[in-house]
Amino acid sequence: MNRAHALFLTLLFTPLLTAELSAQELSIPCDELEEKVLAESEKDKVTRITGFTPAKPLERVSPKYPSQAVMRGREGWVKLSYVIDEEGRVKDPVIDDFFGHKAFKRSALSAVKKWKFEPAIKDGQPTQQCHQSVQMDFAIANQTGASRKFIKAYKDVDALFQAGDIDAADKALSELKEWDTLNRYENTWLLNMDWQIARSLENVEREARSLTRVLASNGSKSNGNMVFDEDYVAYALQRKTMLDSQRGLYADALSSFDSLSKMESQQARISQIAPLVERIKSVIESEQNLTVPVTIGKQGSWFHTLVRNQFAFNNVEGELDTVEVRCDTHREKFTVAENHIWRIPPSWGQCRVMVEGDSTTTFDLIEVAQS
């Protein structure tokens, strides 16, 4: 990022409030089993779907903009995932991440629960559909650029960072994060600084999280509201591919690379990272177990997209409540047990694991090699 361009104010015109899909709609059904048992899934017989019609939206209620946020000019976003049931209703929405006013979360959940769909059809019968996700953006019309107050505060943080006083810069940034007047443009720059500080501190988890949030806040070329340009986005995706690989989050790494691969003007970066992607694929196909160290965190839940159809838990320290497996064609919820291998039929498709428990709970999730 060329710092000569820092805080160049652009006019970003956005609707009063938007709620639009930020992820691909998947045309896959799922059948829910809420049994709290540790079933031997190798005995399950799941038939590959031959006839399926995806759910179609009938009504999407826009989230209400919280009055306490709009009065202060606060902007942000909420990412959610959910299931569409046999009657076309949204079930079990879960907040994946958010940035901005805390009230955005309540508003987003309230809105998505009111959405209605024509249900998915499998073999002539209504069925559930999994892997639905959305990013709801809270934006105010004609909210443009950064305020003078923010520019001064940001420059103060940047000066500390450039001087090498990373701890002081981090403290000043933490104070800036508490402002209740930050708009989308300011959010994006703030998260950019958070990324730089995290990288200097060699905090891989924080750096990856900041990059994800920068990309969520940045806007899009199609909407004409990008804060940072395509070169920045390409570098962020390249960097995130590397970070996710380091953490053993191989599905996330491949997803970031897939987004980068769609940027026709970024062939140089695509070529640079391609060898790493090939190594990731080799590791996934290898006979070694893949271990992901986990801390649940303050949200009380943790998400992970699997690259294999066998997984287990080990070294659990603290309380874990449940593990829910949401696959392309199936969903199950279990209690958590160590020394047990969950085996997922390949016909269920790609699966995402959601684990709930105490914020301080730690454990290893192991993606087990095929025996």
Confidence of residue 298 (pLDDT cuts 50, 70, 90): confident
Averaged confidence pLDDT in the chain:
85
Residue 324 pLDDT > 70 = yes
| pLDDT > 90? residue 35 | no
Write out pLDDT tens, residues 201-260: 999 999 999 999 999 999 988 788 899 999 999 999 999 999 999 999 999 999 999 999
Token code pair at residue 98: 């958010």
* 165 contact partners, CB below 8 Å, separation of at least 6: none
Residue type, position 267, single letter: Q
**CA distance linking residue 279 with residue 291, whole number of Å:** 16
In sequence order, the β-bridge partners of residue 80 are: 95, 134
Kindly tell me the burial class for residue 65, based on how many C-beta atoms sit within 10 Å of its own C-beta (0-12, 13-18, 19 or more). Answer: buried
Helical H segments across the chain, by residue range: 67-70, 103-112, 148-162, 166-177, 184-200, 204-217, 230-246, 250-261, 267-284
**Could you report the per-residue pLDDT of 57-66, keeping only the tens digit for each?**
999 999 999 9
* Rounded Cα gap, residues 317 and 322, in angstroms: 15
